[in-house]
Amino acid sequence: MDIYPVSILSTRMVTHNVRQFELDKPKGYNFIPGQATEITLSNIKWEHERRPFTFTGLNEWDHLEFTIKLYPERHGVTEQLGLLEPGDEIVLHDVWGAIQYKGEGTFIAGGAGVTPFIAIFRQLHKDGAIGANQLIFANKTQSDIILKDQWDEWLGPQVHYVLSQEQAPGFDHGAIDEAWLKQHITHFNQQFYVCGPDKMVADIKKALEHLGGADTLVTVER
């Protein structure tokens, strides 16, 4: 199993608790949209703590991008990632598959569960292949929506935001449950992709089973 020490080139906050990292790209290190790797920190105290994160840039770029929700209250790896600065080093591991594009359909994400869809939609947009793909993106509040401007640009009316803890014009309010899916999705004989917290993924899977959309369902639990 190979390890790839890489330098942080730049960082920026994309919401109040999500930080995007640009990193050096090791030679010969390749991935496809939706894939992930594990990250470890480059210091003795943390070097055995591996955590999975998804590539959110494109393989053809000369650098790597990750989009990472920070949980300082857990005092784990993401708290440390929040403290790193350009020039600091982290360690990447092998690339592995998490979720892969299998054709047009409906993508459903909860919070930072949207990260594999960033790379997938970035690629589709670049290839002029957004087609009828749509994204349903659940968050607690507007301030939690990762890369909203980007989604609006790529998807226009094919992105639907659902907020569980805020009511605002232009946003649906509530949870994505069976009733919501029934009301908003015209046919269930299509590809579904779901990524988010375990409970959300389990609930949506169950709802899609009832509604007839489970045969073509790809899920990733976070």
Ligand X SMILES: Cc1cc2nc3c(=O)[nH]c(=O)nc-3n(C[C@H](O)[C@H](O)[C@H](O)COP(=O)(O)OP(=O)(O)OC[C@H]3O[C@@H](n4cnc5c(N)ncnc54)[C@H](O)[C@@H]3O)c2cc1C
**Could you list the residues that contact ligand X (CB under 6 A)?**
36, 51-54, 66-69, 71, 74, 76-79, 98, 112, 115, 220, 222
- Residue with Cβ nearer ligand X (150 or 190): 150
Least gap, CB of 33 to ligand X (angstroms): 12
Which residue, judged by CB position, is nearest to ligand X in the bound state? Answer: 76
Residue count of the chain: 222
Nearest Cα to 133, choosing from 109, 153, 105? 105
Least gap, CB of 102 to ligand X (angstroms): 17
Least gap, CB of 184 to ligand X (angstroms): 26
Q: Rounded to whole angstroms, how far apart are CA atoms 151 and 137? A: 10
Which amino acid, residue 206? Answer: K
Tokens 């919070």, residue located: 111
With H, G, I as helix, E, B as strand and everything else as coil, classify residue 205.
Answer: helix
N-term to C-term CA, the chain: 24
Q: Rounded to whole angstroms, how far apart are CA atoms 186 and 192? A: 13
- Residue with Cβ nearer ligand X (26 or 76): 76
Nearest Cα to 127, choosing from 13, 37, 16, 33? 33
- Residue with Cβ nearer ligand X (24 or 178): 24
Least gap, CB of 101 to ligand X (angstroms): 16
- Residue with Cβ nearer ligand X (23 or 112): 112
Tokens 């979720």, residue located: 99
- Residue with Cβ nearer ligand X (36 or 136): 36
In sequence order, the β-bridge partners of residue 41 are 90
Least gap, CB of 38 to ligand X (angstroms): 9
- Residue with Cβ nearer ligand X (72 or 212): 72
Q: Which residues 6+ apart lie within 8 Å of 209 measured at CB?
A: none
Cβ distance 208 to 192 under 8 Å?
yes
DSSP character at residue 98: S
Least gap, CB of 211 to ligand X (angstroms): 26
